[in-house]
Amino acid sequence: MISRSRYTLASVCFALLVSNSGLSGPTQVMAAGNKGPVYTETPDSEPNFPLMGEFVGPIKTDSEDNNVVALQIRPIGNDTFEAIQYLGGLPGEEGHKTEMVQLIGRRSDDFVVLSGGPYAVFVEKDGCLVLDRKGSRLGELKRVERESSTLHAPPPADAMVLFDGTSTDQFINGQMTKDGLLMHGTMIKPMMQDFNLHLEFRLPYMPEALDQARGNSGIYLHGRYECQVLDSFATPAVFNGCGALYRFRTPDLNMCYPPLRWQTYDIQFTAARWDAEGNKIRGAHVTSWLNGVKVQDDVELPGPTGAGKPEEPNLLPTLFQDHGDPVRFRNVWIVDRGLASGTFPIRPSKEEIEAFQKEKQAKLEREKKEQEKKARELKEKKQKEEAEKKKQAEMKAAAEKEAAEKAATEKAAAEKAAAEKAAAEKAAAEKAAAEKAAAEKAAAEKAKAEKESAKPETKEEAKPAEAAK
């Protein structure tokens, strides 16, 4: 490998190269508390995402003609990138050497130029070109897409399936996305003292977020001991990075894959032991595999980690932490180690994965059909209830109409009878009035006649009377 004393000239060459690509001034740091854009699916037009990833290939150096170099690179905002260079291969691969060189770079159009090492690295979507300080070609690094050896691990016969994309019944406050993934911020209902836990997780792509603000979650065993989940891809292994026992022990290797890739956690947990008086006599132990590679080997924990609950003899639910970032989970199963009989973790063969996927798909289809059946039955029940409700409403309306018509008829009859009675009473009153008037007239005439007959005789009337005598 080129000696460290030759880095300076390479850095100068890098500065000249990136000055022509638009770099003007120091890298800008995002404002505190601002995480920037968050992607849960592959972005279509985000220009930095295609350049992120892992690259491996042989290069020529002063000492060797076939020196394998591995590179991990990720964006950190403002078209700026950081990367780590390893010799021998990527973390977890045979021949990998843990010594690293940290690089920085800036995107220009569809490529990035990295500096900080003994040569310049031009990163494109499918590969990297490595040049020495004189511009001579040293080699190419090809993009690799790694997959965990425990990905799609089928649950063994003695396992309890916690989540398979069909329901969240085994979780407290569990929520599922429309595409059948488990959301963060939930707790496992079954509580076991010692267990083996398998889960698969997918980190969001948050290119402008840094450190603990970037794709953060965690698996709190018994609510007390955190196995960290974080987008720490292309960074050195640290005590609060992915695979760490949070703020207690750094993982042996940083096995974190790039975000939006499915990754695996396999955790073997042994709870703390207590005596009859409530004194702890042995701490909890954790062995964990991140993406199929052991990163914590039977580590004893003196107490809770991070924000873990206080230690007590009682069991607590295991928590999938809600740190505000949309981390997703799938294929979650657990084995009570008092009942376990097989090996752990499970590294399925291609045939086993195909069989598991086939059975999973069949189960999903059965579940879908069952849901469709329930939906149909519910719809039919609702339609029947609505039809019955409509029928009852129509019958009620008809009864009300009949009653209204009857009432109207009775009212009309009553009004007619009242009118006839009123007319009869009026006629009777008029007749009575006429008869009274006639009677009064007759009486008046009679009285007049009587009065007339009672008057004294005049002289003319008397003479005939006298003559008659």
What is the C-alpha radius of gyration for the chain, rounded to an integer number of angstroms?
49
Given the structure tokens 């590679």, which residue do they identify?
Answer: 293
What is the number of helices (H) and of strands (E) in the chain? 3, 22
Check if the beta carbon of residue 42 is closer than 8 Å to that of residue 50.
no
> What φ, ψ does residue 321 adopt, rounded to 5°?
-60, 140
Residues 104, 3, 54, 203, CA torsion sign: negative
- Could you say which architecture CATH assigns to the domain 4-144? Beta Barrel (2.40)
Check if the beta carbon of residue 125 is closer than 8 Å to that of residue 136.
no
Break the chain into its structural domains and give their ranges: 4-144, 160-350
Q: Which CATH superfamily is domain 160-350 in?
A: Exo-inulinase; domain 1 (2.60.120.560)
- Distance between CA atoms of residues 303 and 129, nearest Å: 48
Token pair recorded at residue 339: 């009942």
- Distance between CA atoms of residues 303 and 246, nearest Å: 12
Check if the beta carbon of residue 262 is closer than 8 Å to that of residue 256.
no
- Distance between CA atoms of residues 243 and 287, nearest Å: 11
- Residue 461, pLDDT score: 55
Three-class SS of residue 449?
A: helix
- Residue 179, pLDDT score: 93
Question: Which residues are paired to 22 by β-bridges?
Answer: none
List per-residue pLDDT tens for the chain, 469 residues long: 333 333 333 333 443 343 333 333 333 333 335 789 999 999 998 999 999 999 999 998 776 667 899 999 999 999 999 999 999 999 999 999 999 999 999 999 999 999 998 889 999 999 999 999 888 999 999 999 999 999 999 999 999 999 999 999 999 999 999 999 999 999 999 999 999 999 999 999 999 999 999 999 999 999 999 999 999 999 999 999 999 999 999 999 999 999 999 999 999 999 999 999 999 999 999 999 999 999 999 999 999 998 899 999 999 999 999 999 999 999 999 999 988 778 999 999 999 898 888 888 887 788 788 888 988 988 989 899 989 999 999 999 999 998 998 999 999 988 898 888 988 889 888 898 888 988 889 888 888 888 888 876 655 655 555 555 5
Token pair recorded at residue 271: 């709870």
Q: Which DSSP string do the residues of 416-433 spell out, in sequence order?
A: HHHHHHHHHHHHHHHHHH
- Distance between CA atoms of residues 255 and 269, nearest Å: 20
- Residue 64, pLDDT score: 61
Chain-centroid distance, C-alpha 391:
42
DSSP single-letter state for residue 49? G
